Structure 1
Amino acid sequence: MIDASFSQVIGVCVLRKLQAMSDKEQGWMPLVSEQTAVLARCGEAFCHAVNVKFNCTAILRNVEEVGSIGSSTSGVWRAEKRYSTKLSSGVEVSVWKDDLTRHKVEAVVNAANEKLNHGGGLAQALCAAGGPMIQKWSDVIIQKYGRVKVGEAVHTSAGDLPCKYIIHAVGPCLSPNPSKWETDQAAPHLYNAINSILCIVLKENISSVAIPALSSGLFHFPRDRCADIIVKAIKQFDEFTKFQSNLEIHLVNNDEPSVQEMERAVKAILVQSSISGTYSGAVQSSMALSSNSKFKFWNVTLQLKTGAIEEEKVHVIVNTISEDCNLSLGLISKAILNKAGRKIQEEISRGKHHKSTNVHVTKGYNLNCDAVYHTVCVVRSDPMATQILHNVVSECLRKASMGYKSISFPAIGTGNLGFKKFEVARIMTDAVANFAKSNMKELDVNFVVYPKDKEMMEAFENEMKMRTRAAESPVVYNDIKTNFAFAASETTAHKMPSVEFDSVSREALREAKEWTTNMLKPSDIMTIKNNHVIYLGQDDHASLLSLQTMLNVRIEEFFRNGKGGITITGNPSNVSCAAIEVESMLCKAQEEFAQAEERDMLYSVVRWSCKDVPWIQTPEISADLEKAYLAGNVNHEINTHKVNLMNKTLVDDYGRSSNVERTCLLDRFESLKNSFYSRTPETRNDYVGKEPWKALNVVKKEKLENIALKQLFKMNMQRLNDKPKCLYQRVSAQFCDLICRVGFQKEFAPPAEQRYGSGIYFSSTVDGAMKLWKDQEHEQYIYIIQAQVLTGKSTIGSPHHILPPPLHGDPLDRYDSLSDMLQTYVIFNGQQALPEYLIIYTR
């Protein structure tokens, strides 16, 4: 018999999970001890590879990090913010578990010795990550000023670290297992060291600083006393000296005992219950629920409050409007129009915004904000209404996070759209929680409820209460029925080693789990096939040699018959670890290649320029500005210059203003769903070519659009004076999005055999594509891209061709493609093909 109360709790959890899922797919994978040991050594590389390959977030649960193997990627999913509170001055003090060499702040603190000789512990790790210049700069300080006394601090640049400064602080060094008397004698020196750090922060106007448990490692200062002294020093410095109100102080350590001591000390010394909050992995809060409550979702702070949305003082205000963008319709929209003035209606009516988007961006005008995001939703009776509302909230959050720090939403959908208030509370809160999982930046989110709408306030508060109870009282897993898998994965993952996957695509999630299973499968040999091996640089090859030595494995690169990769042999556990690090390295090379292609493609169709600042027109900066413009950002910073993308003005670091121009070189174009490319679910059945492979079942169809690539394709169509053919290419899961971004590349989909030349292969049928790419049986699905391809003048190919042969002996006049004269075509210029649809099949 199953206990009735237990069944009820499980049932509620399953129902809530099913409601929240919609098209959002989540997955959880338990780890056995051998798998846990592998991911403890290379978890950072694993998370990075999963994200790049499958656009899927992987979060390691209860996997203690034992040290990075040496991956050169940055793992944003490993940082864990444990606690946060604010001082009376507004300064935020937070406790983090993270690697200080990767932590993203303006300044990090190094536990240095008097000679600034960074030869061990944290100092050595920071120098290894930041480069040899850190030691050289430190040596200059010693030569010029002499030793740094205990209790003092100096600062240098940070080299290759993801920060601007390193503050080298010299704390007291104690003997192992120091006595209370020795600790008491050393305590004032530690206090002075923290004070010296804070003085540098104040003097240099540093906005964020990461401080470790200074002197507690190699210098043997007791952790508990160390944490108390550091926190007390911060508190007293704030009381007597006063920080800048926007300062963030991160107390960062990568060992669990130090993190716990810091959290304890902050709670005991700093916490004021009205503004404190904690979280670890999921939302947790012991605060009383009220209209002024704050709730933490990772880096996102969600506040529920009453008021008028048009009176909000934030960076972004969200409005809800009708499809015709008439701001005088609807209570919220009308209130915003009355406060902002007629110019806001004029801007949204000028025709700059495509109807294809559900979020239109304007300035704030007379409102107390920088921008207004006008959202368009559909009535509740529409089958896609729930998903559209979720997507609209998610899109507003994504856009805000790219340049702003605060955003306020009204309760969207409860008026003419017909949503029930509990539905709106659930959908909007789910969207914030899901967005927060992959968001890297701090963002304040406000749900603003009209004061008289008590029912709406109650719905939001009930949603928060349910989440808080779920986080504080997890359901215990019993293997009762498969239907309880959701509840099991939510709770057991917090008790045993596991990987939690999160993706908007169930196909991507399945591929990520299958790849993880294969990577962690014990084997003394593993081969990774990826043609981006040819783009590995000198540093990458040095890392491969280092991996080979550290893990006692053999690593061999290969490139033959148009296919490249790396083979690893050795002890099974070390092979898995090395393979994951290599996958991450190849993903980094792949992304750098894609960014370069993306930059060149955008630079071919649009240019940003400024007469007073010529370097704006470089391909890198022009493409960067274009992407920010298409994303709907109002402002964008480049070096010390600020560009207003809407007004087309630039302000340099001296405050001088200049005009900026955006010139479309071919046809004018604007944003395509906040980017230059998009993937949209396709419901029509008349787009597939004449001969789809009948042995496969279609599970998803997506329309692929790329406005920059389309313009270049049209230009090539005129150049070749050719009508395109409808052809197919089979690709791996990790290259679907890349092809939409930058078009077809021979590195993305090398066929099993290059019989007709070293180029980009296509087939006139899906059946033919299955035969050309018959070595992708390790994936869960089959991915076919339908494209329009310009084959022009074609001739029979052969394996030795790296370019099409000359037409009549003139090396500058060549064929446009090669073929087998049946159904296989090979082109050598990716701009001769335009991806149209992605069709995903099951076997």
Structure 2
Amino acid sequence: MEDDRMLTLTANGTEVVKQCRAALCQALEGKFQCTPWIHNIEDGAALSFFHSKAAIVPEIRYNKQLSKNLNVSVWKDDLTKHKVDAVVNAANEDLSHGAGLAGALSRVGGPMIQKWSKDLVRKYGKVSTGSVISTKAGNLPCKMIIHAVGPCLSLNPTVEELSKASELLQETVQNILKRANSENLQSVAIPAISSGIFNFPLTKCAEIIVNTVKSAGESRSARARSLEVRLVNNDDPTVQEMLKACLHILGTSDTLPGQNLGNAPTQSSFPSLDLGNITLYLKTGGIENEATEVIVNTIGTDLDLSKGLVTKAILEKGGQQIQQELNRKCRHGLDGDVFVTSGCKLKCPGFHKSLEFPFIELFAPSLEAQKEAKSWLIRTLCSCPEKLEIHNNNIMHLSLEDHKKLMSIQSEFHVEITEIFKSGHGVIIIKGGAAGVGCAALEVEAILCQAQENFAQNEEKLMQNDLNDLGQQIETTPNRLYQKTMLSELNAQNWKKTFSNYDLSVVKVEEIKNVVLKQLFRLNGKRIQAQPQRLYQRVSAQFVDLICRVGFQREYAPPKEQKYGAGIYFTNDLEKGKYFWPEYEERYIYFIEAQVLTGKHTLGSQEMIVPPPTASDPLVRYNSVTNNRGVYVIFNGQHAYPEFIITCQKKDETYI
């Protein structure tokens, strides 16, 4: 049966994912740190690995020895299957591999490629245009992927824009070759970087790439290792442009080697097709007679093995025990279900019965994040609403360019988009046809997630600058500013007992360590000379990790009503905490336990945007405001330090 890692898509959901794959990937990463692996769905740029319409036979069109240790060749082939030391990915600065070549490499290579890429962006920031960065290759038949960020042009670039972009493309190719040398590679496959969706003119793109490779050959040290540069593309127009550029710039080709050099499938008495790490063999005969590890059989939802010629043959050969074993597992199946039984009398240990279907496989840092991601996908893709509301205060951080994108989304998907911000709560309402609403929702979520990430990165820089201004030098953790550590069952007992009194069942408790936030909090404590209180804030799943990164922000967790000022709200009463904040459409309830510098406080009121003055001097103000019934409001996020994340759910709630 389907588990929380897999989501079978409806026809509407399939169409939405087909059109908006990149936005889906970015939204899942931004909201849940989750990477999707999309199966059996084609997009406009690249076919799914599992459903390629026609395999490309590797074909070399040109070959030239430029120097003693540098060779260049032109190939028509699929980069996801091409066998070299490294393939080059035409990446964007965020390393979001949603569509095009990047999406294809990520899908075939596996979800870890996207995860490794995002980890690099978190560690080093965005990859600037002209630069490269490398990751492992996952399931691809190469040692590594070199992610190269080429220039992106407007649809009708000016002469000046094209000139600047040409310099950047040349720099990109130079950096690819430098990386190949520094990694001691013997072969690298380079596509037509920046052509296609990046709008760089194809002819000029080919000329720049070839000229840059030629210059590298002329200046290459005689002591350098031999390097084979393969210009690999999967469509004839691009291959032809690369061939034309080589003939014009490098001259006629040397004698061509065998057409499938280095890419030939293993020889066999049966017709075969090399699919990278997989070889497909085509045989005739009865599948029930095959000696293999697994036999796959497609069946109806009634799970009756006596129907259909192939299924019936498997049943007769394997025996009725297969049907009995299947019936013990389930009486009725759904589209997409996969069942495993033993092989019984068949020549295999076991065989699968499955139905071919489009589905999304989710890879998340925790089971809870995985479940939240799936629930969100169901609401967005499977319920087919004609009206959808996105509650997200990141609309405060949208730029003018972002709002122009929203206008374009309206036109492209024939929907109506309305933005509302009231009483500390932002909402975007999308109305239209079901497919249009789904597509628009993913695109809007992706824009919001990018705005969220830009804000968080800026806050991290400001935090570090604040410490530098105060002369504080600290060491951060290797990959990020914070760490989360889950407490053992024994160490979490106190929280379980406390939350149980409020009909909440604790799933896990995680301790947060953020050395920058901690130091800023300590310095603020010394400045206002106050002892912290231990208080709670309820937050949405999307903002848990953001609070760990950059601390509390007023837009991350506004209460239902801002009765005591436009600040950051906390409470010492868990019962109040359950209902003081909105009921989020989520599988779990998330509380952050924090140390809060409430200091000198006074009664708050709705119109306050900062604490009121303590006396006649407007520069001397209270540290916080309160309702005198357990609710406190601060107006500076550095006056609170998040210590623990408590993930829980209501005792009477169970999820299937």
Tell me if structure 2 keeps the 8 A contact 1:61–1:497: yes
2:213 is the counterpart of 1:201: yes
Which of 266, 279, 284 pairs up with 2:277? Answer: 284
What do the CA deviations read for 1:498-533 (whole angstroms, capped 9, x no partner)? 111111311000000000000112122111111110
What do the CA deviations read for 1:736-793 (whole angstroms, capped 9, x no partner)? 11111111111111111111110000010221211211321x1000001111111011
For 2:512 and 2:625, the matched residues in 1 are separated by 26
2:324 is the counterpart of 1:517: no
Counterparts of 1:563-712 in structure 2 under 5 Å?
563-606=425-468, 665-666=471-472, 669-672=474-477, 674-683=479-488, 684-685=491-492, 688=495, 691-692=498-499, 694=501, 695-712=503-520
2:76 is the counterpart of 1:83: no
Residues 589, 842 of structure 1: CA spacing in aligned structure 2 closer, same or farther, 3 A cutoff?
A: same
For 2:158 and 2:355, the matched residues in 1 are separated by 41
Q: In the alignment, what sits opposite 2:531?
A: 723
2:605 is the counterpart of 1:798: yes
What do the CA deviations read for 1:239-283 (whole angstroms, capped 9, x no partner)? 859xxxxxxxxxxxxxxxxxxxxxxx999433256999x997xx8
Tell me if structure 2 keeps the 8 A contact 1:169–1:193: yes
For 2:33 and 2:252, the matched residues in 1 are separated by 42
Counterparts of 1:339-488 in structure 2 under 5 Å?
475-476=296-297, 480=326, 481=329
Q: In the alignment, what sits opposite 1:308?
A: none
Q: CA deviation at 1:820?
A: 0.7
What do the CA deviations read for 1:634-689 (whole angstroms, capped 9, x no partner)? xxxxxxxxxxxxxxxxxxxxxxxxxxxxxx933x5434465431100112136649
Q: In the alignment, what sits opposite 2:358?
A: 497
For 1:38 and 1:266, the matched residues in 2 are separated by 44
Q: In the alignment, what sits opposite 2:653?
A: none
Q: CA deviation at 1:833?
A: 0.5
Give the counterpart letter for 1:737 in structure 2: D
Tell me if structure 1 keeps the 8 A contact 2:79–2:233: no
TM-score (normalizing by structure 2): 0.63
For 1:665 and 1:231, the matched residues in 2 are separated by 56
Tell me if structure 2 keeps the 8 A contact 1:803–1:828: yes
Q: In the alignment, what sits opposite 1:117?
A: none
Residues 275, 598 of structure 1: CA spacing in aligned structure 2 closer, same or farther, 3 A cutoff?
A: farther
Q: In the alignment, what sits opposite 1:270?
A: 261
2:636 is the counterpart of 1:829: yes
Tell me if structure 1 keeps the 8 A contact 2:536–2:592: yes
For 1:833 and 1:569, the matched residues in 2 are separated by 39
Q: In the alignment, what sits opposite 1:622?
A: none
Q: In the alignment, what sits opposite 2:323?
A: none
Tell me if structure 2 keeps the 8 A contact 1:523–1:572: yes
What do the CA deviations read for 1:449-488 (whole angstroms, capped 9, x no partner)? xxxxxxxxxxxxxxxxxxxx98xx6745766437997767
Give the counterpart letter for 1:809 in structure 2: S
Residues 267, 51 of structure 1: CA spacing in aligned structure 2 closer, same or farther, 3 A cutoff?
A: farther
Residues 558, 81 of structure 1: CA spacing in aligned structure 2 closer, same or farther, 3 A cutoff?
A: farther
Counterparts of 1:202-217 in structure 2 under 5 Å?
202-203=214-215, 212=233, 216=237
For 2:494 and 2:79, the matched residues in 1 are separated by 48
Residues 477, 687 of structure 1: CA spacing in aligned structure 2 closer, same or farther, 3 A cutoff?
A: farther
Give the counterpart letter for 2:372 in structure 1: E
Tell me if structure 2 keeps the 8 A contact 1:134–1:156: no
Tell me if structure 2 keeps the 8 A contact 1:29–1:500: yes
Q: CA deviation at 1:590?
A: 0.5
How many pairs align? Answer: 482
Tell me if structure 2 keeps the 8 A contact 1:83–1:94: no
Give the counterpart letter for 1:589 in structure 2: A
Q: In the alignment, what sits opposite 2:100?
A: 99
Q: CA deviation at 1:231?
A: 13
Which of 557, 561, 564 pairs up with 1:753? Answer: 561
Q: Helix, strand or coil: the match of 1:130?
A: coil
Q: Helix, strand or coil: the match of 1:807?
A: coil
RMSD value over aligned CA atoms?
Answer: 4.8
Tell me if structure 2 keeps the 8 A contact 1:134–1:159: no
Residues 193, 51 of structure 1: CA spacing in aligned structure 2 closer, same or farther, 3 A cutoff?
A: closer
Residues 209, 740 of structure 1: CA spacing in aligned structure 2 closer, same or farther, 3 A cutoff?
A: farther
2:596 is the counterpart of 1:789: yes
Q: CA deviation at 1:100?
A: 6.1
Q: Answer 1 or 2: higher relative contact order, Cα 8 Å, separation at least 6.
A: 2
Q: Helix, strand or coil: the match of 2:548?
A: helix
2:415 is the counterpart of 1:540: no
Q: In the alignment, what sits opposite 2:67?
A: none
Residues 727, 270 of structure 1: CA spacing in aligned structure 2 closer, same or farther, 3 A cutoff?
A: same
For 2:602 and 2:400, the matched residues in 1 are separated by 39
Residues 548, 596 of structure 1: CA spacing in aligned structure 2 closer, same or farther, 3 A cutoff?
A: same
2:614 is the counterpart of 1:807: yes
Tell me if structure 2 keeps the 8 A contact 1:107–1:210: no
Give the counterpart letter for 2:262 in structure 1: V
Q: Percent identity?
A: 32
For 1:519 and 1:579, the matched residues in 2 are separated by 7
Give the counterpart letter for 2:416 in structure 1: R
Unaligned 5+ segments in structure 2 are: 47-77, 92-97, 106-126, 133-149, 176-192, 220-226, 268-272, 281-291, 304-325, 341-350, 651-656
For 1:838 and 1:100, the matched residues in 2 are separated by 38
Tell me if structure 2 keeps the 8 A contact 1:131–1:159: no
Q: Helix, strand or coil: the match of 1:698?
A: strand
For 1:705 and 1:170, the matched residues in 2 are separated by 49
Give the counterpart letter for 1:561 in structure 2: S
For 1:767 and 1:587, the matched residues in 2 are separated by 31
For 2:396 and 2:171, the matched residues in 1 are separated by 25
For 1:237 and 1:491, the matched residues in 2 are separated by 55
Residues 712, 209 of structure 1: CA spacing in aligned structure 2 closer, same or farther, 3 A cutoff?
A: farther
Q: In the alignment, what sits opposite 1:610?
A: none
Q: CA deviation at 1:134?
A: 3.8
For 1:93 and 1:675, the matched residues in 2 are separated by 27
For 1:266 and 1:543, the matched residues in 2 are separated by 49
Q: CA deviation at 1:823?
A: 0.8
Q: Helix, strand or coil: the match of 2:100?
A: coil
Q: CA deviation at 1:819?
A: 0.8
Q: CA deviation at 1:52?
A: 1.0
For 1:540 and 1:161, the matched residues in 2 are separated by 28
Give the counterpart letter for 1:84 in structure 2: H
For 2:100 and 2:257, the matched residues in 1 are separated by 20
2:23 is the counterpart of 1:42: no
Counterparts of 1:111-122 in structure 2 under 5 Å?
none
Q: In the alignment, what sits opposite 1:617?
A: none
Tell me if structure 2 keeps the 8 A contact 1:562–1:754: yes
For 2:513 and 2:11, the matched residues in 1 are separated by 45
For 2:99 and 2:363, the matched residues in 1 are separated by 21
Q: In the alignment, what sits opposite 2:368?
A: 507
For 1:756 and 1:209, the matched residues in 2 are separated by 65
Tell me if structure 1 keeps the 8 A contact 2:79–2:232: no
Counterparts of 1:109-258 in structure 2 under 5 Å?
129-131=152-154, 134-137=157-160, 155=166, 157=168, 197-203=209-215, 212=233, 216=237, 240=254
Residues 826, 193 of structure 1: CA spacing in aligned structure 2 closer, same or farther, 3 A cutoff?
A: closer
Give the counterpart letter for 1:500 in structure 2: E
2:551 is the counterpart of 1:743: yes
What do the CA deviations read for 1:178-214 (whole angstroms, capped 9, x no partner)? xxxxxxxxxxxxxx99788534433267998976456
Unaligned 5+ segments in structure 1 are: 1-9, 15-24, 69-79, 109-125, 142-153, 172-191, 218-224, 242-264, 288-468, 608-663
Residues 689, 32 of structure 1: CA spacing in aligned structure 2 closer, same or farther, 3 A cutoff?
A: closer
TM-score (normalizing by structure 1): 0.50
Tell me if structure 1 keeps the 8 A contact 2:495–2:506: no
For 1:798 and 1:720, the matched residues in 2 are separated by 22
